[in-house]
């Protein structure tokens, strides 16, 4: 049994209640560890430690902050295999994916913001011949970072890296469903010599620990990634307290395939954008719209490939689809397979629970499901499923596909496949989403603004946007 501890004031400590929650391994369905069942008192301790660390950390030179963060990044790389295994065990994702994407991206996040602060500048405005206005940026103080289970260390570091780089001290809460790599990360921070209290990690349930971070009087800002419903609850708590808020929420993203696309590339990438990480990426394109002249050709090729995806133990290097994150989530995804059928969808492949042989026989595996014949405005096509379930819908004109693509309450990302540059520009302009990928998917440049519109969130992360979020700007007007 691996017992996780909180990281508060530079120490690994037990929750004050002495209570723990079970940590389940999705690959086997078995309990393999314990997580602190922390409470508001633990959060308060963490906030106090962060407050005590703030005066020194906020005045530590950029060069020194950068050096420490780069040391953590190096340690992540040096422990790649252990972290990838831990991520796969905690989440059910193929270890190959954790090794190639999750963990390298975590060190990249640390490096990106550690070096960005060395190149940051602020503005000055000369006001006629009368004054100079200088913009200065200061860290906010203690900030809260709350992250989800689908890309655990990847999204955890995506938040804390800009927060720390900007000179804030942090109280962070990883998902209780996948806490292991955040725990290992706390050990790496100790090894790197991060000063006590600069980063504090409190484990436990969202409504207890997350809520306590949000409603604490001394957290100045909340950076949250997770579901739209939780985002609403956080906004309701934090907005009347006038906290800065960054909300990265759910998605129901369209993947639009025109007849003039590079068919093979669109097919190969659509398979990834549908089922990578078992479809549990907020950017997955779960609604695939295909221009009518190639509808049957694309559908048949897509279904053939989807039905051949290798499902199995995430620890097997040849596995393409691992386990869903929990029994509860598998049940939720299965309920949508049923809804899709009730709504008249034709199941072209998958949708069944898979029993993997051997030690993984009790794990949470689902054969990727592909549906057609559903109305664009039915529940299956409007609600976030967050699993390996996609729908195929033919379209005739740009206007038709835009209407369908823009019809949901979400607006996180969209993908467009076409070789017509004018069309790519037109469609990108008219799609209601924060990100549009043309002829690619999840091709990330960390300098770009990342975030959604409508119910997919408020605010932008990435690049200077993230550093802006974690700082307060002040204008100093100096009269000549």
Nearer to ligand NAD, 65 or 173 (CB): 173
Shortest Å, Cβ 478 to ligand NAD? 40
Residue 468: CB partners within 8 Å, gap ≥ 6?
Answer: 137
Least distance in angstroms from the C-beta of 243 to ligand NAD: 12
Minimum distance from residue 136 beta carbon to ligand NAD (Å): 30
Of 189, 282, 284, 349, catalytic: 282
Closest to ligand NAD by CB, 148 or 197: 148
What are the tokens at 148?
A: 């989800």
Our answer to whether residue 248 is catalytic in this structure is: yes
Closer residue to ligand NAD (CB): 282 or 337: 282
- Measured CA to CA, the distance from residue 250 to residue 413 in angstroms comes to 10
At its nearest, how many Å lie between ligand NAD and the CB of residue 90?
A: 13
Q: Which residues are near ligand NAD by CB under 6 A? A: 146-150, 155, 173, 175-176, 206-207, 210-211, 214, 225-227, 230, 233-234, 248-251, 282, 384, 386, 412, 452, 457
Q: Nearest to residue 281, comparing CAs of 272, 290, 268?
A: 272
Residue 34 pairs in a beta bridge with: 3, 22
Locate 234 and state its tokens: 């956080």
CA 210 to chain centre: 16
Closest CA to 336 of 281, 271, 405, 287: 287
Nearer to ligand NAD by C-beta: 96 or 454?
454
Q: Is 383 a catalytic residue?
A: no
- How many angstroms separate the CA atoms of 135 and 477, rounded? 9
Find the angle CA(428)-CA(446)-CA(66) to the nearest 5 degrees.
160
- 109's enclosing H/E stretch is helix 103-116
Q: How far is the CB of 357 from ligand NAD (least distance, A)?
A: 29
Taking the C-alpha atoms of residue 232 and residue 126, their distance in angstroms, rounded to an integer, is: 41
Tokens of 439: 């002829």
- Which residue's CB is nearer to ligand NAD, number 175 or number 200? 175
Buried b (16+ CB within 10 A) or exposed e, 131-142: eeeeeebebbbb
* CA atoms of 439 and 442, how far apart (whole Å): 11
Residue 379 CB, shortest distance to ligand NAD, in Å, is 16
Instruction: Give the residue among 322, 457, 439 at the shortest CA–CA distance from 384.
Output: 457
| Catalytic-labelled residue, pool 39, 87, 248, 291 | 248
CB of 324 to ligand NAD, least distance (A): 12
State the number of CA atoms in the 13 A half-sphere of 305 facing the CB: 16
Q: Which is nearer to ligand NAD, 19 or 310 (CB)?
A: 19
Exposure b/e, 153-187, CB count within 10 A at least 16 = b: bbbbbbbbbbbbbbbbbbbbbbbbbbbbbbbbbbe
The answer to whether 251 and 225 have CB atoms below 8 angstroms apart is no
Select 55 or 240, whichever has its Cβ closest to ligand NAD.
240
- Positions marked catalytic: 248, 282
């Amino acid at each position: 049994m691996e017992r996780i501890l909180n990281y508060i004031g530079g120490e690994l400590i037990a929750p004050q209640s002495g209570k723990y929650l079970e940590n389940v391994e999705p690959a086997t369905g078995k309990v393999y560890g314990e997580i602190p069942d922390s409470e508001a008192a633990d959060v308060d301790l963490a906030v106090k430690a962060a407050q005590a660390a703030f005066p020194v950390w906020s005045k530590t030179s950029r060069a020194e902050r950068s050096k420490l963060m780069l040391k953590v990044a190096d340690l992540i790389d040096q422990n790649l295999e252990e972290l990838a295994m831990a991520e796969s065990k905690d989440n059910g994702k193929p270890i190959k994916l954790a090794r190639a994407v999750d963990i390298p991206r975590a060190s990249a996040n640390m490096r990106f913001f550690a070096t960005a602060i060395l190149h940051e500048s602020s503005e000055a405005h000369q006001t006629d011949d009368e004054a100079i206005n200088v913009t200065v940026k200061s860290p906010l103080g203690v900030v809260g970072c709350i992250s989800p289970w689908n890309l655990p260390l990847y999204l955890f570091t995506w938040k804390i890296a800009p927060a720390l780089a900007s000179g804030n001290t942090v109280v962070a809460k990883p998902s209780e469903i996948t806490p292991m790599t955040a725990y290992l990360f706390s050990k790496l921070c100790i090894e790197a010599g991060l000063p006590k209290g600069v980063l504090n990690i409190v484990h436990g349930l969202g409504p207890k620990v997350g809520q306590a971070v949000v409603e604490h009087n001394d957290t100045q800002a909340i950076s949250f990634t997770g579901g739209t419903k939780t985002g609403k609850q956080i906004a309701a708590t934090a907005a009347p307290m006038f906290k800065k808020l960054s909300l990265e929420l759910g998605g129901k993203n369209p993947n639009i395939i025109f007849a003039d696309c590079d068919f093979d590339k669109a097919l190969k990438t659509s398979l990834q954008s549908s089922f990578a990480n078992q479809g549990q990426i907020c950017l997955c394109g779960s609604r695939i719209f295909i221009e009518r002249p190639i509808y049957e050709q694309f559908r048949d090729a897509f279904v053939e490939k989807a039905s051949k995806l290798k499902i199995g133990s995430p620890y097997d290097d040849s596995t393409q689809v691992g386990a869903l994150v929990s029994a509860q989530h598998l049940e939720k995804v299965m309920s949508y397979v049923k809804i899709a059928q009730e709504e008249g969808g034709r199941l072209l492949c998958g949708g069944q629970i898979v029993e993997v042989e051997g030690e993984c026989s009790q794990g949470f595996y689902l054969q990727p499901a592909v549906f057609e014949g559903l109305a664009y405005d039915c529940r299956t096509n409007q609600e976030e499923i967050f699993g390996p379930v996609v729908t195929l819908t033919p379209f005739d004109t740009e206007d038709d596909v835009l209407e369908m693509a823009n019809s949901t309450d979400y607006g996180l990302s969209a993908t467009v496949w076409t070789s017509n540059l004018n069309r790519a520009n037109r469609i990108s302009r008219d799609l209601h989403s924060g990100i549009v990928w043309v002829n690619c998917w999840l091709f990330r440049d960390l300098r770009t603004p990342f975030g959604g519109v409508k119910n997919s969130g408020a605010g932008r992360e990435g690049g200077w946007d993230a550093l802006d979020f974690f700082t307060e700007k002040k204008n100093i007007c100096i009269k000549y």
